[in-house]
């Protein structure tokens, strides 16, 4: 399951098949509405332009942190401080939920006492901070396809995933490309020595 921080980062979308079309999904109120609804974040702030600006600023911060962490570098103290400023929004209260149909049966959710843009951004920032604390920062990666650079969390057992996921993801695309290149080479190859007539 992806987390809101990953989805926010990848909202800066570009077509990985070429250097072609790109799209900042934050510019679409419809996308922003779907994103917030999916993560059960405050739907009342969707329409506001300030929401999209706020999400964009958080995205820039997360991008800087992810690039640094994915390279195995130490995050810049200023960036950590800015992240902490997002986390400081509140107040929140804890709510225990019983969800037998989900991955885990019990969920402890932090819910804002009053929903607003600050608490919405805090929720996304916390989803990232939790991965650093409870997950493995070394699993945060960028797709190695230079046309893609999609951010993902490598959940493979061997931690060796290099491409973004999915049937339409880069791993599959590059597999097809490599296959075609091999086929082309085969076709273009001169006949082998044993069959050549000198």
Instruction: Tell me the closest approach of the beta carbon of residue 64 to Zn ion, in angstroms.
Output: 20
10 binds Zn ion (CB under 5 A): no
Cα 21 → chain centroid: 19
Tokens of 180: 């075609």
In 3D space, the residue among 161, 64, 50 whose CA is nearest the CA of residue 152 turns out to be 161
46 binds Zn ion (CB under 5 A): no
- CB under 8 Å to 74, separation ≥6 — which residues? 68
Residue count of the chain? 198
Single residue of 9, 89, 129, 164 touching Zn ion by CB under 5 A: 164
Q: What is the C-alpha separation between 118 and 122, in angstroms, rounded?
A: 6
Instruction: Tell me the closest approach of the beta carbon of residue 16 to Zn ion, in angstroms.
Output: 5
143 binds Zn ion (CB under 5 A): yes
Q: Which residues are bridge partners to 110 per DSSP?
A: 94
Nearer to Zn ion, 10 or 119 (CB): 10
Q: What is the DSSP string of 108-176?
A: EEEEESS--HHHHHHHHHHHHHHHHHHS-GGGEEE-S-TTT--EEE---TTS---S--STTSHHHHHHH
170 binds Zn ion (CB under 5 A): yes
Count of residues interacting with Zn ion (CB under 5 A) = 7
The H or E element that residue 186 is part of is helix 170-188
Interface region with Zn ion, contact rule CB under 5 A, candidates 1-9, 77-85, 120-128, 159-167: 159-167
51 binds Zn ion (CB under 5 A): no
Instruction: Tell me the closest approach of the beta carbon of residue 23 to Zn ion, in angstroms.
Output: 16
153 binds Zn ion (CB under 5 A): no
148 binds Zn ion (CB under 5 A): yes
Nearer to Zn ion, 66 or 148 (CB): 148
Instruction: Tell me the closest approach of the beta carbon of residue 150 to Zn ion, in angstroms.
Output: 4
Q: Which residues bind Zn ion (CB under 5 A)?
A: 16, 143, 145, 148, 150, 164, 170
């Amino acid at each position: 399951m992806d987390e809101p921080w990953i989805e926010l980062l990848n909202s800066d979308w570009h077509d990985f098949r070429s250097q072609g079309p790109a799209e900042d999904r934050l510019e679409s109120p419809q996308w922003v509405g779907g994103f917030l609804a999916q993560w059960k974040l405050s739907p009342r702030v969707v329409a506001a332009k300030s929401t999209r600006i706020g999400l964009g600023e958080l995205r820039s911060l997360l991008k800087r942190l992810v690039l640094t962490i994915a390279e195995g570098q130490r995050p810049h103290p200023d960036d950590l401080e800015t992240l902490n400023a997002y986390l400081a929004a509140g107040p929140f209260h804890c709510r225990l939920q019983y969800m037998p149909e989900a991955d885990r049966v019990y969920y402890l959710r932090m819910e804002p006492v009053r929903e607003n843009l600050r608490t919405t951004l805090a929720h996304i920032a916390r989803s990232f901070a939790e991965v650093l604390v409870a997950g493995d920062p070394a699993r945060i990666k960028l797709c190695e396809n230079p046309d893609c650079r999609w951010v993902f969390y490598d959940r493979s057992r061997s931690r060796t995933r290099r491409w973004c996921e999915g049937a339409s993801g880069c791993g599959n695309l590059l597999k097809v490309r490599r296959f075609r290149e091999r086929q082309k080479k085969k076709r273009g190859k001169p006949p082998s020595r044993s069959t050549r007539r000198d």
